[in-house]
Structure 1
Amino acid sequence: MSFLYEQLPLAVQLRDDATFENFYAGGNGLAVNEISRQLQNGEPYIFLCGPSGSGRSHLLQAACHHADQQGHASVYLPLEELSHYPPEELFAGLAALPLVCLDNISQVLGDSRWEEALFHLFNQMREAGNCLLIAADKAVADLAISMPDLASRLGWGAFYQLKPLDDEQRIAVLKLRAERRGVELNDEVAQYIYKRCQRDMDALLKTLAQLDRASLQERRKLTIPFVKEALHW
C-alpha cells in the first residue's frame, strides 16, 4: 500500500482515477510507454517535465498505483502543498521505500534547506537501489537551482518532456472519463461543457464528477438543458 502520513493534508493521497489505464496519452504515448517500462525494470531515477495540464501529476500518481498493485510501498508528495513542512522531517525514512514521487519541485527550489534535503534524498535512494520519480514544469537546465551538486544529480537518468493536450484531446479525455464512470456523454454535450468550463483538466474532471453525482440523484441523462440546470449556467 502507498505510504501515507496521517498529519499531511488530503492532497498527498492518491486520486483513485489517476492510473496508467486512465491516462490519455495524446502525443505523449512513447513517453508514457517508456516510463511504464522503466518503472517495471527498476530505473533508479526518472525526471518528467511539462506545462500545466500535460499530465505530470497524473503519471506520478499512476506510478504509485502501479507500485501498490505490485505490492510495493510508495509515496506521492506534491511539494507545492508541502513547502511549509521541514524538508528533513518530510523526507525522513523515504529512501527505504521502493518508489518516491516528488511533484512540482520547482516550488521549493532556491531554498537552501530544501535543496540540501533533495540532494541527500537523491543520494540515499540511489544507494538503496530504489526509484525516485520527479516532476517539474521545466527541464532541469531551466530550473532555478542554487546548489550545483543538486543540479548535477537531477540531470542524471531518464528524462521525458510531456506535451500539453490540445482542445480536441481534452474533450476526448472528458468523454473517456465519462465512459469509465458509466456516464453517456455525447459530442454535443461534451463540446458545450468544454466551452463553458475552465479548460484545464482538473476543472473539467471536477465538473464531470459534479454532473455524474447530479445525474445519479436526479436519474437524468446528461443533456445540455440538464447541464445548464445542474451547474447553474
Structure 2
Amino acid sequence: MRDKAPPKQLAFDLPLDPRYGREDFLVGPANEAAYALVEAWPDWPDTVLLLQGPRGSGKSHLASIWATRAHAWTVSASTLKDDQVTHLVSNGALVIEDVDRAADRDEAALFHLLNLARERHSPVMITAARPVDSFGLKVADLRSRLRLAPTIEILPPDDALLRAVIVKLFVDRQIVVDLAVVEAVALRIDRSLARARDVVAELDRDALGRGRRITKPLALAVLDRLGMAEAGEDADEQDEETG
C-alpha cells in the first residue's frame, strides 16, 4: 500500500511589516549618495529634494530615516489636498511619497505646498520612481519647480548589495537558508530589489504550502516556475528534493 502524501499546508499571505530603522538600511554603491544626503541633513543644497529610484529600491526606507531625523510628517501625493497644505507645512518638515504614481493628485495643492515650504524654509523630500518629465504633470509651473529641485537617484544594486538584501529579506521573515539558496536567487533574478522581495515572498509561500524548508532545489523549482531558472542547470538537484 502506497504511503499517503503529507497534507498540503495552508499558506496565509499575511502582510509583513517592513523595518524602516536606520540600522536596517543596507548601504552600497547604488544608494550611498542618497544615504549620505539624508545623513547630511540639514545641510541640504535646497529646501526641496527629489529622491528617485525604481520600485523597491529603498526610497520609502530612506524617507523614513530622514523623517525620523527631521521630525517630518509623511503623506501620499494621492491624498494631498489644498486645504491641508498650511497645516502640513506648519510642522516644519514633510515627506511626499510617490508623486509620479498619483494619477489623481491635486497639482495645484502640490504647487502651493512647494511655494509655501520654500517661503517658510520648510524642508520637503519627494519620492518618485521616474524622472519629472514622465510624471504627466499638467501644471507647467509645478513641472518647472520640480525640474529645478535637486534630484538624488538610487541606482540598481550591485551584486554584493543584492545578495545582502536577499539575506535580509529572509531574516525579516525569520527564515534561515543556506548561502546556496541566496546565490541561486541572486544569479537568476534581474538586478532589482523589488524582484528580490517578490521572489523571497514566493519562496516563503511555496515552502509553507509544501510544509518544507527552503533548500536550493526547492528554490530552483520555484525560480523555474517563475521563468527565472537557467534551462537544464541543476535539474538533477531539483529531482532530489525531499524536504
TM-score range, shorter chain: 0.5 to 0.7
Distance in 2 separating the partners of 1:91 and 1:120: 7
- SS, match of residue 23 in structure 2: coil
- Give the corresponding residue for 1:98: 92
Q: Pick the structure with greater CA Rg.
A: 2
- Percent same amino acid among aligned pairs? 26
The answer as to 2:27 corresponding to 1:35 is no
Deviating more after overlay: 207-216 vs 97-106 = 207-216
Distance in 1 separating the partners of 2:222 and 2:86: 46
Distance in 1 separating the partners of 2:42 and 2:75: 15
Cα drift, residue 57 of structure 1: 2.7
- Give the corresponding residue for 2:144: 152
- Give the corresponding residue for 2:73: 74
Runs of 5+ in structure 1 lacking a partner? 1-14
Mapping of 1:27-66 within 5 angstroms? Answer: 27=29, 28-39=31-42, 44-64=47-67, 66=68
- SS, match of residue 126 in structure 2: strand
| RMSD of aligned residue pairs (Cα, Å) | 4.2
TM-score normalised according to structure 1 size: 0.65
Contact 2:34 2:152 in 1 (8 A): yes
- SS, match of residue 136 in structure 2: coil
The one of 25, 28, 35 equivalent to 2:27 is 25
Mapping of 1:213-228 within 5 angstroms? Answer: 222-224=214-216
Distance in 1 separating the partners of 2:80 and 2:46: 28
Contact 1:106 1:136 in 2 (8 A): yes
- SS, match of residue 105 in structure 1: coil
Q: Deviations over 1:41-85 (max 9, x none)?
A: 695211122333433233223322x23xx6x242142x4xx3xx5
Distance in 1 separating the partners of 2:191 and 2:109: 36
Flag the structure with higher helix content: 1
Cα drift, residue 155 of structure 1: 3.0
For 1:62, the aligned partner's letter is I
For 2:91, the aligned partner's letter is L
Shift in CA distance, 159/198, structure 1 to aligned 2, threshold 3 Å = closer
Q: Deviations over 1:157-180 (max 9, x none)?
A: 432122122555322211144457
Aligned residues between the structures: 209
- SS, match of residue 21 in structure 1: helix
